[in-house]
Protein backbone atom coordinates (compact mmCIF):
# COMPACT_ATOMS: atom_id res chain seq x y z
CA UNK A 1 0.00 0.00 0.00
CA UNK A 2 1.46 3.36 -1.04
CA UNK A 3 1.58 6.47 1.17
CA UNK A 4 -1.18 7.90 -1.08
CA UNK A 5 -3.53 4.97 -0.34
CA UNK A 6 -3.10 5.44 3.43
CA UNK A 7 -3.88 9.16 3.42
CA UNK A 8 -6.85 10.38 5.45
CA UNK A 9 -9.82 12.09 3.78
CA UNK A 10 -8.76 15.71 4.51
CA UNK A 11 -5.34 14.98 2.96
CA UNK A 12 -6.79 13.11 -0.01
CA UNK A 13 -9.22 15.98 -0.68
CA UNK A 14 -6.15 18.18 -1.21
CA UNK A 15 -3.79 15.74 -2.93
CA UNK A 16 -5.89 13.13 -4.75
CA UNK A 17 -5.59 13.40 -8.53
CA UNK A 18 -3.26 16.40 -8.37
CA UNK A 19 -0.30 16.00 -10.69
CA UNK A 20 1.94 18.92 -11.65
CA UNK A 21 1.32 19.96 -15.26
CA UNK A 22 3.78 17.90 -17.39
CA UNK A 23 4.60 20.84 -19.69
CA UNK A 24 5.18 23.63 -17.17
CA UNK A 25 5.28 22.07 -13.69
CA UNK A 26 2.26 24.18 -12.69
CA UNK A 27 1.07 22.78 -9.35
CA UNK A 28 -2.57 23.53 -10.14
CA UNK A 29 -4.21 22.22 -13.31
CA UNK A 30 -4.14 25.18 -15.72
CA UNK A 31 -7.44 26.45 -17.10
CA UNK A 32 -8.01 24.79 -20.47
CA UNK A 33 -10.26 27.58 -21.75
CA UNK A 34 -11.00 25.99 -25.08
CA UNK A 35 -14.15 24.76 -26.78
CA UNK A 36 -12.42 22.30 -29.12
CA UNK A 37 -9.28 20.12 -29.32
CA UNK A 38 -7.16 19.66 -32.49
CA UNK A 39 -6.77 16.14 -33.93
CA UNK A 40 -3.44 15.03 -35.40
CA UNK A 41 -5.30 13.36 -38.29
CA UNK A 42 -8.79 12.58 -39.56
CA UNK A 43 -8.18 8.97 -38.46
CA UNK A 44 -7.42 10.09 -34.89
CA UNK A 45 -10.60 12.22 -34.82
CA UNK A 46 -12.62 9.26 -36.04
CA UNK A 47 -11.12 6.93 -33.42
CA UNK A 48 -11.91 9.41 -30.63
CA UNK A 49 -15.51 9.84 -31.74
CA UNK A 50 -16.03 6.09 -32.03
CA UNK A 51 -14.55 5.54 -28.55
CA UNK A 52 -11.66 3.40 -29.88
CA UNK A 53 -9.15 5.91 -28.55
CA UNK A 54 -9.17 8.09 -25.42
CA UNK A 55 -8.60 11.81 -25.83
CA UNK A 56 -10.36 15.14 -25.85
CA UNK A 57 -12.72 16.14 -28.65
CA UNK A 58 -14.87 19.11 -27.63
CA UNK A 59 -15.48 20.61 -24.17
CA UNK A 60 -19.18 19.60 -24.07
CA UNK A 61 -17.85 16.02 -24.19
CA UNK A 62 -15.03 16.57 -21.66
CA UNK A 63 -12.14 18.85 -20.69
CA UNK A 64 -9.05 18.38 -18.45
CA UNK A 65 -10.55 20.77 -15.86
CA UNK A 66 -13.63 18.54 -15.70
CA UNK A 67 -11.62 15.35 -15.27
CA UNK A 68 -9.73 16.56 -12.21
CA UNK A 69 -12.89 17.60 -10.28
CA UNK A 70 -14.89 14.58 -11.41
CA UNK A 71 -12.20 12.19 -10.14
CA UNK A 72 -11.91 14.13 -6.88
CA UNK A 73 -15.69 14.18 -6.25
CA UNK A 74 -15.98 10.46 -7.07
CA UNK A 75 -13.19 9.68 -4.61
CA UNK A 76 -14.88 11.78 -1.91
CA UNK A 77 -18.29 10.10 -2.41
CA UNK A 78 -16.79 6.61 -2.69
CA UNK A 79 -18.27 6.41 -6.21
CA UNK A 80 -16.81 4.67 -9.26
CA UNK A 81 -17.28 7.84 -11.30
CA UNK A 82 -18.77 11.34 -11.39
CA UNK A 83 -19.74 13.83 -14.07
CA UNK A 84 -19.91 17.59 -13.60
CA UNK A 85 -22.66 19.84 -14.94
CA UNK A 86 -23.21 23.55 -15.44
CA UNK A 87 -25.54 23.73 -12.39
CA UNK A 88 -27.14 21.54 -9.75
CA UNK A 89 -30.34 21.63 -11.82
CA UNK A 90 -28.28 20.66 -14.88
CA UNK A 91 -27.01 17.60 -12.98
CA UNK A 92 -30.53 16.69 -11.80
CA UNK A 93 -32.06 17.14 -15.26
CA UNK A 94 -29.25 15.15 -16.91
CA UNK A 95 -29.70 12.25 -14.45
CA UNK A 96 -33.52 12.29 -14.69
CA UNK A 97 -33.62 12.49 -18.49
CA UNK A 98 -31.10 9.64 -18.70
CA UNK A 99 -33.22 7.41 -16.44
CA UNK A 100 -36.77 8.35 -17.33
CA UNK A 101 -38.95 8.35 -20.41
CA UNK A 102 -42.51 8.26 -21.69
CA UNK A 103 -44.71 6.14 -19.41
CA UNK A 104 -42.34 5.98 -16.45
CA UNK A 105 -43.03 6.96 -12.83
CA UNK A 106 -41.03 8.53 -9.99
CA UNK A 107 -41.51 8.30 -6.23
CA UNK A 108 -40.10 11.47 -4.65
CA UNK A 109 -40.13 13.11 -1.26
CA UNK A 110 -42.69 15.89 -0.90
CA UNK A 111 -40.04 18.32 0.36
CA UNK A 112 -37.50 19.12 -2.34
CA UNK A 113 -35.62 22.19 -3.53
CA UNK A 114 -38.30 24.27 -5.34
CA UNK A 115 -36.88 23.86 -8.87
CA UNK A 116 -36.46 20.08 -8.45
CA UNK A 117 -40.09 19.97 -7.31
CA UNK A 118 -41.12 22.09 -10.27
CA UNK A 119 -39.21 19.87 -12.73
CA UNK A 120 -41.04 16.78 -11.46
CA UNK A 121 -44.41 18.37 -10.72
CA UNK A 122 -44.84 20.83 -13.58
CA UNK A 123 -42.45 19.88 -16.40
CA UNK A 124 -41.71 16.15 -16.70
CA UNK A 125 -45.35 15.11 -16.90
CA UNK A 126 -45.53 16.96 -20.25
CA UNK A 127 -43.23 14.22 -21.55
CA UNK A 128 -45.19 11.37 -19.97
CA UNK A 129 -43.28 11.07 -16.67
CA UNK A 130 -45.49 11.04 -13.56
CA UNK A 131 -44.38 11.61 -9.97
CA UNK A 132 -45.96 10.55 -6.68
CA UNK A 133 -44.82 12.78 -3.81
CA UNK A 134 -44.62 11.04 -0.41
CA UNK A 135 -43.30 11.71 3.08
CA UNK A 136 -39.98 9.83 3.08
CA UNK A 137 -40.05 9.55 6.87
CA UNK A 138 -43.13 7.33 6.46
CA UNK A 139 -41.58 4.15 5.07
CA UNK A 140 -44.97 2.45 4.66
CA UNK A 141 -46.21 5.36 2.51
CA UNK A 142 -43.03 5.12 0.40
CA UNK A 143 -43.53 1.37 -0.02
CA UNK A 144 -47.15 1.91 -1.08
CA UNK A 145 -46.29 4.55 -3.71
CA UNK A 146 -44.47 2.19 -6.11
CA UNK A 147 -46.10 1.19 -9.38
CA UNK A 148 -45.03 -1.39 -11.97
CA UNK A 149 -43.59 1.45 -14.10
CA UNK A 150 -41.65 3.18 -11.27
CA UNK A 151 -38.03 3.78 -12.25
CA UNK A 152 -36.69 6.13 -9.58
CA UNK A 153 -36.91 6.89 -5.84
CA UNK A 154 -35.54 10.38 -5.16
CA UNK A 155 -35.09 12.53 -2.06
CA UNK A 156 -32.86 15.03 -0.27
CA UNK A 157 -31.52 14.42 3.23
CA UNK A 158 -31.56 16.83 5.00
CA UNK A 159 -34.45 18.14 2.90
CA UNK A 160 -34.54 21.72 1.64
CA UNK A 161 -35.80 23.73 3.53
CA UNK A 162 -37.33 21.76 6.45
CA UNK A 163 -34.06 19.88 7.18
CA UNK A 164 -36.01 16.63 7.61
CA UNK A 165 -33.47 13.79 7.83
CA UNK A 166 -34.48 10.45 6.30
CA UNK A 167 -33.28 6.88 6.78
CA UNK A 168 -31.10 6.56 3.67
CA UNK A 169 -30.31 2.86 4.21
CA UNK A 170 -33.98 1.90 4.69
CA UNK A 171 -35.10 3.93 1.66
CA UNK A 172 -32.35 2.41 -0.53
CA UNK A 173 -33.48 -1.08 0.55
CA UNK A 174 -37.14 -0.29 -0.30
CA UNK A 175 -36.15 1.08 -3.71
CA UNK A 176 -34.05 -1.97 -4.49
CA UNK A 177 -36.83 -4.35 -3.44
CA UNK A 178 -38.86 -2.62 -6.15
CA UNK A 179 -35.88 -2.82 -8.55
CA UNK A 180 -35.64 0.95 -9.10
CA UNK A 181 -32.70 3.36 -8.99
CA UNK A 182 -32.40 5.36 -5.76
CA UNK A 183 -30.94 8.88 -5.93
CA UNK A 184 -30.14 11.32 -3.13
CA UNK A 185 -29.37 15.02 -3.33
CA UNK A 186 -26.40 15.42 -0.97
CA UNK A 187 -25.96 19.17 -1.47
CA UNK A 188 -26.62 20.19 2.15
CA UNK A 189 -23.98 17.78 3.49
CA UNK A 190 -21.26 17.37 0.85
CA UNK A 191 -19.39 14.05 0.99
CA UNK A 192 -17.37 15.40 3.93
CA UNK A 193 -20.47 15.10 6.16
CA UNK A 194 -22.40 12.28 4.48
CA UNK A 195 -21.74 9.59 1.86
CA UNK A 196 -25.13 8.18 0.77
CA UNK A 197 -23.57 5.54 -1.53
CA UNK A 198 -22.24 3.83 1.61
CA UNK A 199 -25.87 3.43 2.71
CA UNK A 200 -26.79 1.73 -0.55
CA UNK A 201 -28.17 4.43 -2.87
CA UNK A 202 -27.29 4.27 -6.56
CA UNK A 203 -26.42 7.86 -7.32
CA UNK A 204 -25.77 11.16 -5.61
CA UNK A 205 -26.52 14.66 -6.85
CA UNK A 206 -24.75 17.87 -5.86
CA UNK A 207 -25.31 21.51 -6.43
CA UNK A 208 -21.59 22.36 -6.33
CA UNK A 209 -22.69 26.00 -6.31
CA UNK A 210 -23.01 25.59 -2.54
CA UNK A 211 -20.48 24.21 -0.02
CA UNK A 212 -18.32 22.31 -2.54
CA UNK A 213 -17.30 25.58 -4.19
CA UNK A 214 -17.99 27.49 -1.00
CA UNK A 215 -17.36 31.03 -2.14
CA UNK A 216 -20.61 32.00 -3.84
CA UNK A 217 -18.99 32.72 -7.19
CA UNK A 218 -19.88 29.68 -9.32
CA UNK A 219 -22.96 27.75 -10.49
CA UNK A 220 -22.15 24.04 -10.93
CA UNK A 221 -23.35 20.50 -10.25
CA UNK A 222 -22.35 16.81 -10.13
CA UNK A 223 -23.83 13.36 -10.52
CA UNK A 224 -21.85 10.50 -8.90
CA UNK A 225 -22.51 6.76 -9.12
CA UNK A 226 -21.44 3.61 -10.96
CA UNK A 227 -19.21 4.01 -14.01
CA UNK A 228 -21.92 2.51 -16.23
CA UNK A 229 -24.54 5.02 -15.06
CA UNK A 230 -22.20 8.02 -15.17
CA UNK A 231 -21.02 7.09 -18.68
CA UNK A 232 -24.68 7.07 -19.74
CA UNK A 233 -25.45 10.41 -18.01
CA UNK A 234 -22.39 11.93 -19.70
CA UNK A 235 -23.20 10.54 -23.15
CA UNK A 236 -26.96 11.18 -23.09
CA UNK A 237 -28.01 13.47 -20.23
CA UNK A 238 -25.19 16.00 -20.52
CA UNK A 239 -24.02 15.65 -24.13
CA UNK A 240 -27.34 15.28 -25.97
CA UNK A 241 -30.32 15.98 -23.73
CA UNK A 242 -29.38 19.03 -21.65
CA UNK A 243 -26.01 20.22 -22.97
CA UNK A 244 -25.41 21.43 -19.41
CA UNK A 245 -21.62 21.48 -19.66
CA UNK A 246 -19.54 23.18 -16.98
CA UNK A 247 -17.17 25.91 -18.19
CA UNK A 248 -13.43 25.21 -17.65
CA UNK A 249 -13.00 28.33 -15.48
CA UNK A 250 -15.91 27.29 -13.24
CA UNK A 251 -14.36 23.80 -12.96
CA UNK A 252 -11.07 25.43 -11.91
CA UNK A 253 -12.86 27.42 -9.18
CA UNK A 254 -14.60 24.26 -7.90
CA UNK A 255 -11.17 22.59 -7.66
CA UNK A 256 -9.87 25.55 -5.68
CA UNK A 257 -12.90 25.52 -3.36
CA UNK A 258 -12.91 21.77 -2.67
CA UNK A 259 -9.38 21.86 -1.25
CA UNK A 260 -10.61 23.78 1.83
CA UNK A 261 -13.91 21.89 2.20
CA UNK A 262 -13.13 20.05 5.49
CA UNK A 263 -11.82 23.25 7.09
CA UNK A 264 -14.87 25.24 5.99
CA UNK A 265 -17.43 22.56 6.89
CA UNK A 266 -16.00 22.14 10.41
CA UNK A 267 -16.33 25.90 10.97
CA UNK A 268 -19.73 26.20 9.24
CA UNK A 269 -21.13 23.46 11.50
CA UNK A 270 -19.54 24.81 14.70
CA UNK A 271 -20.95 28.29 13.95
CA UNK A 272 -24.40 26.91 13.11
CA UNK A 273 -24.52 24.98 16.38
CA UNK A 274 -23.88 28.18 18.37
CA UNK A 275 -26.44 30.18 16.36
CA UNK A 276 -29.07 27.39 16.56
CA UNK A 277 -28.70 27.04 20.33
CA UNK A 278 -29.18 30.79 20.69
CA UNK A 279 -32.24 30.89 18.39
CA UNK A 280 -33.79 27.88 20.18
CA UNK A 281 -34.03 29.98 23.34
CA UNK A 282 -35.13 33.21 21.62
CA UNK A 283 -38.58 34.52 22.69
CA UNK A 284 -39.50 35.47 19.08
CA UNK A 285 -38.75 31.98 17.71
CA UNK A 286 -41.83 29.76 17.56
CA UNK A 287 -39.98 26.59 16.51
CA UNK A 288 -36.61 25.66 15.07
CA UNK A 289 -35.10 22.81 13.04
CA UNK A 290 -31.36 22.16 13.30
CA UNK A 291 -30.04 18.59 13.20
CA UNK A 292 -27.54 19.40 15.99
CA UNK A 293 -30.17 20.36 18.59
CA UNK A 294 -31.13 17.72 21.19
CA UNK A 295 -34.86 18.04 20.37
CA UNK A 296 -34.36 17.37 16.63
CA UNK A 297 -36.72 14.50 15.69
CA UNK A 298 -34.27 12.24 13.80
CA UNK A 299 -31.20 12.59 16.03
CA UNK A 300 -30.39 8.86 15.78
CA UNK A 301 -30.26 9.14 11.97
CA UNK A 302 -28.16 12.32 12.17
CA UNK A 303 -25.63 10.43 14.30
CA UNK A 304 -25.69 7.40 12.00
CA UNK A 305 -25.49 9.20 8.66
CA UNK A 306 -23.82 12.56 9.22
CA UNK A 307 -20.36 13.43 10.56
CA UNK A 308 -21.67 16.84 11.72
CA UNK A 309 -25.16 18.44 11.62
CA UNK A 310 -24.56 20.92 8.77
CA UNK A 311 -24.92 24.68 8.67
CA UNK A 312 -28.55 25.23 7.64
CA UNK A 313 -31.06 26.33 10.26
CA UNK A 314 -34.79 26.79 9.66
CA UNK A 315 -36.99 28.59 12.15
CA UNK A 316 -40.54 29.90 12.38
CA UNK A 317 -40.96 33.43 13.67
CA UNK A 318 -43.77 34.25 16.11
CA UNK A 319 -46.24 36.56 14.35
CA UNK A 320 -46.55 34.72 11.02
CA UNK A 321 -45.71 35.87 7.47
CA UNK A 322 -45.51 39.60 8.28
CA UNK A 323 -43.12 38.99 11.19
CA UNK A 324 -40.89 36.73 9.07
CA UNK A 325 -40.76 39.37 6.31
CA UNK A 326 -39.91 42.04 8.89
CA UNK A 327 -36.94 39.97 10.13
CA UNK A 328 -35.73 39.34 6.58
CA UNK A 329 -35.95 43.05 5.80
CA UNK A 330 -34.13 44.05 8.99
CA UNK A 331 -30.88 42.05 8.71
CA UNK A 332 -27.82 44.26 8.33
CA UNK A 333 -24.79 41.96 8.07
CA UNK A 334 -26.46 38.71 6.94
CA UNK A 335 -27.36 38.82 3.25
CA UNK A 336 -31.04 38.56 2.31
CA UNK A 337 -30.34 36.08 -0.49
CA UNK A 338 -31.13 32.57 -1.68
CA UNK A 339 -28.39 29.92 -2.05
CA UNK A 340 -26.35 28.44 0.76
CA UNK A 341 -22.88 27.28 1.70
CA UNK A 342 -21.17 30.62 1.10
CA UNK A 343 -18.69 32.23 3.48
CA UNK A 344 -21.33 34.92 4.13
CA UNK A 345 -24.41 34.10 6.22
CA UNK A 346 -27.47 34.07 3.94
CA UNK A 347 -31.11 34.33 5.03
CA UNK A 348 -34.20 33.78 2.87
CA UNK A 349 -37.94 33.12 3.04
CA UNK A 350 -38.57 29.71 1.37
CA UNK A 351 -42.36 30.05 0.88
CA UNK A 352 -42.00 33.18 -1.27
CA UNK A 353 -38.52 32.53 -2.69
CA UNK A 354 -36.80 29.13 -3.24
CA UNK A 355 -40.07 27.18 -2.86
CA UNK A 356 -42.51 29.52 -4.61
CA UNK A 357 -43.25 26.72 -7.13
CA UNK A 358 -45.28 25.04 -4.33
CA UNK A 359 -48.98 26.03 -4.17
CA UNK A 360 -50.23 27.06 -0.68
CA UNK A 361 -51.67 23.60 0.11
CA UNK A 362 -48.49 21.94 -1.19
CA UNK A 363 -46.35 24.20 1.03
CA UNK A 364 -48.36 23.10 4.07
CA UNK A 365 -48.11 19.44 3.00
CA UNK A 366 -44.32 19.81 2.62
CA UNK A 367 -44.00 21.41 6.07
CA UNK A 368 -42.97 24.83 4.70
CA UNK A 369 -44.68 27.51 6.81
CA UNK A 370 -45.26 31.14 5.85
CA UNK A 371 -43.41 32.23 9.00
CA UNK A 372 -40.37 30.10 8.12
CA UNK A 373 -36.94 31.59 7.49
CA UNK A 374 -33.89 29.60 6.39
CA UNK A 375 -30.40 30.64 7.45
CA UNK A 376 -27.18 29.32 5.89
CA UNK A 377 -24.67 30.10 8.61
CA UNK A 378 -21.42 31.40 7.13
CA UNK A 379 -17.86 31.66 8.37
CA UNK A 380 -18.13 34.96 10.26
CA UNK A 381 -17.70 35.09 14.04
CA UNK A 382 -21.00 33.50 15.19
CA UNK A 383 -21.42 36.25 17.82
CA UNK A 384 -21.86 38.74 14.97
CA UNK A 385 -24.42 36.51 13.23
CA UNK A 386 -26.35 36.28 16.51
CA UNK A 387 -26.15 40.04 17.08
CA UNK A 388 -27.57 40.70 13.60
CA UNK A 389 -30.37 38.12 13.93
CA UNK A 390 -31.23 39.46 17.41
CA UNK A 391 -31.58 43.04 16.21
CA UNK A 392 -33.66 41.83 13.22
CA UNK A 393 -35.91 39.67 15.44
CA UNK A 394 -36.46 42.66 17.70
CA UNK A 395 -38.12 44.41 14.73
CA UNK A 396 -40.58 41.53 14.02
Task: State the residues that interact with ligand 4LM by CB under 6 A.
Answer: 87-89, 113, 156, 160, 185, 187, 207, 209, 219, 221, 338-340, 354
Supply the minimum distance, in Å, between the C-beta of residue 86 and ligand 4LM: 8
Residues with Cβ within 8 Å of 252's Cβ and at least 6 positions away in sequence, in order, are: 28, 29, 31, 65
Of 137, 152, 283, 171, whose CA–CA distance to 229 is shortest?
A: 152
Of the residues 60, 256, 299, 318, only one is catalytic, namely 60
**Known catalytic membership, residue 210:** yes
Supply the minimum distance, in Å, between the C-beta of residue 371 and ligand 4LM: 18
**Phi, psi values for residue 170, rounded to 5°:** -65, -40
Cα–Cα distance between 288 and 291 in angstroms, integer? 10
Q: Between 48 and 185, name the residue whose CB sits nearer to ligand 4LM.
A: 185
**Known catalytic membership, residue 60:** yes
Of the residues 110, 121, 210, 267, only one is catalytic, namely 210
Q: Between 119 and 288, name the residue whose CB sits nearer to ligand 4LM.
A: 119
Are the C-beta atoms of 215 and 346 separated by less than 8 Å?
A: no
Cα–Cα distance between 52 and 31 in angstroms, integer? 27
Are the C-beta atoms of 372 and 350 separated by less than 8 Å?
A: yes
**Exposed/middle/buried for residue 60 (C-beta within 10 Å: 0-12, 13-18, 19+):** middle
- 303 in the Ramachandran plot: left (φ > 0), alpha (ψ -120 to 50) or beta? alpha
Supply the minimum distance, in Å, between the C-beta of residue 158 and ligand 4LM: 9
**Known catalytic membership, residue 239:** no
Q: Between 89 and 331, name the residue whose CB sits nearer to ligand 4LM.
A: 89
Q: Between 89 and 129, name the residue whose CB sits nearer to ligand 4LM.
A: 89
**Known catalytic membership, residue 185:** yes
Supply the minimum distance, in Å, between the C-beta of residue 388 and ligand 4LM: 19
Q: Between 167 and 185, name the residue whose CB sits nearer to ligand 4LM.
A: 185
Cα–Cα distance between 394 and 389 in angstroms, integer? 8
Are the C-beta atoms of 237 and 97 separated by less than 8 Å?
A: yes
Q: Between 108 and 284, name the residue whose CB sits nearer to ligand 4LM.
A: 108
Of the residues 72, 109, 113, 388, only one is catalytic, namely 113
Supply the minimum distance, in Å, between the C-beta of residue 354 and ligand 4LM: 4
Which residue's CB atom is positioned nearest to ligand 4LM?
88
Residues with Cβ within 8 Å of 335's Cβ and at least 6 positions away in sequence, in order, are: 344, 345, 346, 347
Supply the minimum distance, in Å, between the C-beta of residue 222 and ligand 4LM: 10
Cα–Cα distance between 232 and 36 in angstroms, integer? 22
Q: Which residues are catalytically annotated?
A: 60, 113, 185, 210
Amino acid sequence: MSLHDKMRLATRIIHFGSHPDPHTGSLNVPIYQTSTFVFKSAEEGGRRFSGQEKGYIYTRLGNPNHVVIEEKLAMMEGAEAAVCASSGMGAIAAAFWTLLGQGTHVVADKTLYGCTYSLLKHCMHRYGVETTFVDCSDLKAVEAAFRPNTKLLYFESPANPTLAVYDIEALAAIGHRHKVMVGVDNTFCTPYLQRPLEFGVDFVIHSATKFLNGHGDVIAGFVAGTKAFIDQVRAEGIKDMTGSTLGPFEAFLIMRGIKTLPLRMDRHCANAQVVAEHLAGHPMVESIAYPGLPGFPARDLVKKQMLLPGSLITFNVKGGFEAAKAVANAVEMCALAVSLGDVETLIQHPASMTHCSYKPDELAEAGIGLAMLRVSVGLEDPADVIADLDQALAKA
